[in-house]
């Protein structure tokens, strides 16, 4: 599989993080020299989220992001307002991911705003047919949600499926709604023509 277009390098040391206020809540973003290495989606308790986030970074502290990261943060803010945003060129550091996970994450990054697929469909697109369950497990470990849009992956039959971020499936559904995607049972038919 050609992964030469994947925008990531591999480096372990987070250099810093920032907490960004967005239209959907506070989002934490951490980066290394190679790119964004961790994103935390909004939680009810911002202080608890920041403590947990900082603890995972091994000592990196809050700081002003460099230009490339600041540009990605602006994209996140625009996305949270419901704007159509393309994160595919945002640099990421996936050094903690194995080759299978990287293939899955890149296949997810290839999905456009508002485009969904199933776990099996994503596995196929990543060159790993028949690995739907493993794909779900890889997405559950996704360190950079939104940038790697794991919320766009649905269970078979168009069901919402799981989501490991705070709020679970409800958060996933909210993100999809931001993108104009409706998941779930069909809306009741209009009765305008009922006799």
Catalytic residues: 150
Q: What angle do CA 134, 104, 139 make, to 5 degrees?
A: 60
Q: What is the dihedral of CA 167, 173, 177, 179, to 10 degrees?
A: 90
- 172: its two tokens: 């996933």
Task: Please answer whether residues 50 and 40 qualify as being in contact, where contact means their C-beta atoms are separated by less than 8 angstroms.
Answer: no
Beta bridge partners of 154: 118
Rounded to 10 degrees, the C-alpha dihedral 166/172/174/177 comes to: 170
Q: With contact defined as beta carbons under 8 Å apart, do 33 and 118 qualify?
A: no
Instruction: With CA atoms as reference, report the closest residue to 30 among 12, 46, 17.
Output: 17
């Amino acid at each position: 599989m050609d992964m030469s277009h994947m925008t990531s390098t591999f480096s372990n040391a987070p250099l810093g993080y920032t907490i960004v206020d967005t239209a959907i809540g506070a989002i934490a973003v951490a980066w290394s020299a190679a790119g964004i290495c961790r994103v935390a989606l909004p939680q009810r308790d911002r202080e608890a989220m920041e403590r947990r986030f900082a603890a995972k970074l091994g000592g990196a502290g809050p700081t002003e992001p460099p230009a490339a990261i600041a540009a990605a943060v602006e994209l996140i803010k625009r996305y949270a307002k419901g704007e159509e945003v393309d994160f595919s060129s945002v640099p990421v550091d996936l050094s903690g991911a194995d080759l299978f996970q990287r293939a899955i994450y890149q296949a997810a990054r290839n999905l456009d705003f508002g485009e969904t697929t199933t776990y099996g469909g994503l596995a196929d697109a990543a060159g790993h047919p028949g690995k739907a369950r493993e794909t779900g497990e890889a997405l559950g470990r996704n360190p950079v949600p939104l940038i790697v849009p794991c919320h766009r992956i649905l269970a078979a039959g168009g069901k919402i499926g799981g989501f490991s971020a705070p709020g679970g499936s409800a958060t996933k559904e909210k993100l999809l709604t931001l993108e104009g995607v409706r998941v779930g049972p069909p809306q009741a038919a209009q009765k305008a023509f009922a006799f």
